Amino acid sequence: MDSTRQLDRSDRIGMYMSVVMVAIGAVIAIVAAVTRLLEVGDGRDVPVLVPLAGDEAALPLGPDGAPVSAAVDVATVTVADPAPATLFALYAQPVWIAVVVVAGLVVAALFFLRLARGRAFTGGAARLAFIAAGIVTVGWLGDSILTNMTTNGALSALSDYTYESVTFEVSLAPALAVLVIAAIGAALQVGEGLQRDTEGLV
């Protein structure tokens, strides 16, 4: 028996438009990676965004640009000659992010195409969601490691290893995304089972 449930024309168009948006997102991710690689260039004078431990700095925020003391949490610094490990991370990070984003968007496109064909609760939909959760997890861990390699390497190079704040920052937003995607996968898996049971009664 055909287990697909055909969407109406407007819903199918919406799903195909989502696929187009996914393709645009992939192009944007690749362009961003290429732009960052061009910034890294030959590995000399590389701009790096680094987190700071609330250090004080005088910024020209007062009347006529008068200096005002402020706590600085992040800053973009220029690293003249990064260490080999830092340079590796500077090159690897944008490539890693682009690969992970494109992989996740490919899975999203496959899922939207499946929905457009009315196959939300057929075999494979839940698997796509679990694959997406895995991609987000691996991408998050890899990006965290590379980001901390670049920031700590940049601070060490600038301070000749005398700056005391060694950072290891991890964003919790990807963890929430993984939970949501995994929950969607579990719901789809339950839906697939219910649909199989329903078809067995027909």
pLDDT for the residue 1: 42
Global model pTM greater than 0.75: yes
The rounded distance, in Å, linking the Cα atoms of 18 and 93 is: 27
CB 96 within 8 A of CB 36: no
**61 contacts 68 by C-beta, under 8 angstroms:** yes
Check residue 191 and report its DSSP letter: H
HSE-CB for 193 with a 13 A CA cutoff: 6
* Of the candidates 139, 143, 156, 144, the residue with the CA atom closest to the CA atom of residue 85: 156
Residue 169 pLDDT: 60
Torsion of CA 110, 128, 186, 25, to 10 degrees: -60
pLDDT for the residue numbered 134 = 93
Angle at 13 between CA 7 and CA 109, to 5 degrees: 90
| pLDDT tens, residue order, the chain (202 aa) | 444 455 667 777 877 888 899 999 999 999 999 999 999 988 889 999 888 776 788 888 888 888 888 888 888 889 988 999 999 999 999 999 999 999 999 998 888 888 777 766 666 778 888 899 999 999 999 998 999 899 988 888 888 877 765 555 666 777 788 888 888 888 877 777 766 666 554 4
pLDDT in tens, 97-120: 999 999 999 998 888 888 777 766
Residue 120: its pLDDT value, please? 65
β-partners of residue 59 are 68
For residue range 84-95, list pLDDT tens digits in order. 999 999 999 999
Token pair of 132 as six digits: 């997406």
Distance CA 95, CA 169 (A): 20
Indicate the helix (H) or strand (E) that contains 59: strand 46-59
Query: Residue 80 is encoded by which pair of tokens?
Result: 């003249």
Round to whole Å and give the CA distance between 135 and 186: 16
Q: What is the pLDDT of residue 191?
A: 73
